[in-house]
């Protein structure tokens, strides 16, 4: 499960995303750029190696919420 996606999902509730469609577009862009892959069997998302590396660099620089 993508913990950082739930942070952004919380931002959706705070109004950072105008609506759920914007959030879905955001997820699609992560998939498009190869940072996230969706498991076709259960529909869950997971980080690719590139996505995991970038996420870890983000956490090291800015800290986790």
What does the domain layout of the chain look like in residue ranges? 3-62
pLDDT above 70 for 17: no
pLDDT above 80 for 9: no
pTM (predicted TM-score): 0.48
Could you identify the residue written with the tokens 């577009």? Answer: 25
Residue 60 to residue 15: CA distance in whole angstroms: 26
Residues in the chain: 65
Residue 31 to residue 28: CA distance in whole angstroms: 5
pLDDT above 70 for 38: yes
């Amino acid at each position: 499960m993508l913990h950082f996606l739930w942070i952004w999902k919380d931002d959706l509730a705070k109004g950072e995303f105008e609506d759920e469609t914007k959030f879905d577009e955001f997820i699609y862009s992560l998939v498009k750029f190869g940072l996230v892959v969706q498991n076709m069997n259960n529909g869950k998302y997971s980080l690719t190696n590139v996505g995991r590396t970038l996420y870890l660099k983000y956490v090291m620089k800015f800290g986790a919420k």
